[in-house]
């Protein structure tokens, strides 16, 4: 598997479009356990003079537990369209209860710098190290946002600021 380096600024539009059109895959790992979840909330850009991907994860998610134990993640972007089965599994099931990679038919590819694998089927990859995390407080948000995205039953998000340490396209 070859990796063609990409400039984050050159692929930021592709990533933003994927976030708007179904989501990207946020991958995490703790020991031998790897997990992937579909996220539709994220930002790619620069903060503290470093390339960064900011990922929003609800506090109750298994992915949050993994990120808190291992502060590294990869972002896998479907540039050739979503795989329906992978999207359904990674977007609706918990990795606490199953091996999502196996169930969704995804192929883990060792990362270049971090401990969390990329996904062969979604070739645009960002490798990230968490440099900061912040718990959101929904009560501090404007009322219309709270009403639309939060209720008494939902939990706030944790924002993970991941420094992008590698960015590439997986190629055969």
Question: What local confidence, expressed as pLDDT, does residue 152 receive?
Answer: 67
Q: What are residue 108's DSSP bridge partners?
A: 119
Question: What local confidence, expressed as pLDDT, does residue 162 receive?
Answer: 98
Question: What local confidence, expressed as pLDDT, does residue 153 receive?
Answer: 66
Query: CA 55 → CA 24, 91, 142, 160, distances in Å?
Result: 10, 15, 20, 5
Q: Which two tokens stand for residue 19?
A: 């976030």
**Contact call for residues 109 and 118 (beta carbons, < 8 A):** yes
Instruction: Give the Cα separation of 119 and 114 in Å (integer).
Output: 14
Going by C-beta distance under 8 Å and a sequence separation of 6 or more, which residues neighbour residue 73? 26, 27, 28, 55, 67, 114, 116, 128, 130, 160, 162
Q: Sign of torsion, CA 6 46 78 21?
A: negative
Question: What local confidence, expressed as pLDDT, does residue 43 receive?
Answer: 94
Residue by residue, pLDDT tens for the chain (172 residues) are 899 999 999 999 999 999 998 899 999 999 999 999 999 999 999 999 999 999 999 888 999 999 999 999 999 999 987 788 899 999 999 999 899 999 999 999 999 999 999 999 999 999 999 999 999 888 888 989 888 887 766 678 899 999 999 999 999 8
Question: What homologous superfamily is domain 6-153 in, according to CATH?
Answer: Electron Transport, Fmn-binding Protein; Chain A (2.30.110.10)
Hey, where are the domains in the chain?
6-153
pTM over 0.85: yes
Instruction: Give the Cα separation of 24 and 19 in Å (integer).
Output: 6
Instruction: Give the Cα separation of 107 and 22 in Å (integer).
Output: 20
Going by C-beta distance under 8 Å and a sequence separation of 6 or more, which residues neighbour residue 52? 43, 44, 45, 46, 128, 131, 161, 162, 163, 164
Question: What local confidence, expressed as pLDDT, does residue 83 receive?
Answer: 82
Question: What local confidence, expressed as pLDDT, does residue 4 receive?
Answer: 97
* Terminal C-alpha separation, the chain: 5
Helices (H), the chain: 8-20, 62-69, 84-92, 100-104, 143-149
């Amino acid at each position: 598997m070859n990796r063609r380096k990409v400039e984050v600024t050159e692929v930021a539009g592709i990533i933003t479009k994927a976030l708007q059109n179904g989501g990207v895959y946020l991958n995490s790992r703790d020991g031998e356990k790897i997990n992937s979840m579909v996220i539709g909330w994220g930002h790619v850009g620069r903060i503290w003079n470093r390339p960064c991907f900011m990922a929003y994860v609800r506090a109750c998610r298994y992915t949050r537990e993994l990120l808190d134990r291992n502060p590294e993640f990869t972002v896998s972007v479907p540039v050739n369209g979503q795989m329906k089965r992978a999207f359904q599994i990674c977007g609706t099931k918990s990795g606490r209860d199953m091996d999502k990679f196996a169930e969704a038919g995804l192929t883990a590819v060792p990362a270049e710098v971090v401990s969390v694998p990329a996904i062969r089927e979604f070739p645009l990859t960002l490798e990230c190290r968490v440099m900061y995390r912040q718990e959101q407080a929904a009560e501090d948000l404007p009322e219309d946002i709270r009403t639309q995205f939060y209720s008494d039953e939902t939990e706030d998000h944790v924002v993970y600021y991941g420094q992008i340490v590698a960015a590439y396209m997986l190629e055969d």
